[in-house]
Chains A and B, each alone.
Chain A
């Protein structure tokens, strides 16, 4: 199928997929099926040229643009092998401690449960708590305390259980 014949939302999805660091994405919805994969030995055809089982709807409503994958999985570079990144949900100032002078929420080597508080992101005195999406061990803190971080930037590397 020619690239230009794909509905726009589908092409956007492929672009997001390529950027996401995800290895494989499988969507099934009614009689529409899509597999995107970077795995060389996958039994399927290469990602972008895989034909849907039936023609996708011609006028996919815009509101159905695929949600971006979770930020944590967008950052694959520079992470210790086998760890996952906990990323900033938005731009802001990174604080490792609940208040100045207090001990950091977490230290390298510490065991954490899913949902554990890891840090604060501050925007104009509004503080957002970032929590771990996985249970595991903190392998690295990737940002200096009080530095500005951007949306999607990796903050912690966690080795999941």
Chain B
């Protein structure tokens, strides 16, 4: 049954994004806020805001019972978890089911299964999705050489009992594998009392690609193309784009099929993302994990597909099924997103909450801004420091980059430092423009230089 009143169990830009999507579908909204978010943009735009508890997330946004109680008592028949907070905690959809509230997301058992990395890998393997090539346990130097030859170099030798980087060795050929085994195994024996090793293919310059999925819960799953999120700092994404321009159409088709096969094998319901490691040199991809929620970077997929994924999520949760078939999803052009955080680059990107004293947002062809901020708005110190997402779409990657850089130059934010300066440096870097980057490029190439030229 179609949702009539939707509870928004999140904050920041995604709460506002969900409210807007619901309003476009003529659905009433109730936004949950903590005491620190009483004046948030989402709270103002929604039909109603209810104060869950104090600023501390543990006593407000992260308490599933409190959240579902508030949803039920405010008469909501649907609940959108956004991303982060409780979005991938199975207890939230379980409580929703217990209280007759439609959860905008996957079934709890699927969230649980995919949240367990080993179980998710097993499910991927069963669905025929490629995993990083690896070995069983290795007990001798000769074993190491044989397995290394089979897997292909370079390989990473890891202690079976290991962790924390101890007993880890990279080997580029058979001799190194044999010698590396002796050394790492002895180290592991000393550290963990167990010298057993195993081996995985090592991809020195990998890209991070992910496929946007949407399932009806009955086994029908659509993809909305892939995203390339290789610009990362400490595993945090700074720039995301769609499509992955470094991938051939042939491989892209295989990637989409793998992601769909995996999601269909569990009758996946609602929005999700299958993440992969992309070895550009070998033109191969390996499964990493599934994120069972809408992601921060979903707008780039919306920009190239012209679908509103959050509206689609709400319709599916209301029982409407998928509104289209795969042939109706036509991807065009290129989109790039900057995740703008209030962080101080001069202080090792320390989060810098505070009040926005000036906010002149860019507009223009192909430019989209998803943000809950405005002049005078406060970024409270209790939560993440994202102030918004700037997205540029163009007919191709070059045009998207041009528009993005122009929009960054037009964007004036005062009162708090932001990551936009770094994002401009990335978007104009020759390696980024030539698209020869990988997941460690930002840390290895850009950051050591960043800020030094200007100083």
Contact = CB atoms under 8 A, between A and B. Distances in A.
Interface of B: 34-36, 50-55, 59-60, 63, 65-66, 68-70, 73-74, 95, 347, 351-355, 357, 378, 380-382, 414-416
A68 B378 contact: no
B381 A124 contact: no
A89 B53 contact: yes
A9 B351 CA distance: 13
Nearest to A147: B73
A154 to B, nearest CB: 12
Contact of B69 (A9, A12, A123, A151): A123
A82 to B, nearest CB: 26
Contacts of B381: 8-9, 12, 62, 65
A135 interface: no
20 contacts: A3-B357, A4-B414, A4-B415, A8-B352, A8-B354, A8-B381, A8-B416, A12-B378, A15-B378, A68-B54, A90-B52, A90-B53, A90-B59, A93-B73, A123-B66, A124-B65, A126-B65, A150-B50, A150-B51, A152-B51
Nearest to B379: A8
A124 B101 CA distance: 14
Interface residues of A, number: 26
Of B52, B54, B69, B416, most A-chain CB atoms within 10 Å: B69
A136 interface: no
Interface in A14-62: 15, 59, 62
Contacts of A9: 381
A91 B70 contact: yes
A127 to B, nearest CB: 12
A65 B382 CA distance: 8
Interface of A: 3-4, 8-9, 11-12, 15, 59, 62, 65, 68, 71, 89-93, 122-124, 126, 148, 150-153
A71 B358 CA distance: 31
Of A59, A62, A90, A93, most B-chain CB atoms within 10 Å: A90
Contacts of B357: 3-4
Contacts of A148: 50, 70, 73-74
A88 to B, nearest CB: 9
The dominant DSSP class at the A interface is: mixed
A152 B35 contact: yes
A8 B351 CA distance: 11
Contact of B355 (A11, A92, A123, A151): A11
Contacts of B59: 90
A71 B52 CA distance: 13
A-B pairs, top 9 by smallest CB distance, nearest first, are A8-B354, A124-B65, A148-B73, A90-B53, A150-B51, A151-B51, A151-B53, A65-B381, A123-B69
A91 B52 contact: yes
Nearest to A15: B378
Nearest to A125: B65
Of B34, B35, B59, most A-chain CB atoms within 10 Å: B35
Given A122-B69, A123-B66, A124-B66, 18 more contacts: A8-B354, A11-B354, A11-B355, A65-B382, A71-B54, A90-B52, A90-B60, A90-B66, A91-B52, A123-B65, A124-B65, A124-B68, A124-B95, A148-B74, A151-B34, A151-B35, A151-B54, A151-B60
Contacts of B65: 123-124, 126
Nearest to A92: B69
Contacts of A91: 50-53, 66, 69-70
A31 to B, nearest CB: 24
A143 to B, nearest CB: 13
A34 B455 CA distance: 36
Contacts of B70: 91, 148
B402 to A, nearest CB: 33
A68 B95 CA distance: 30
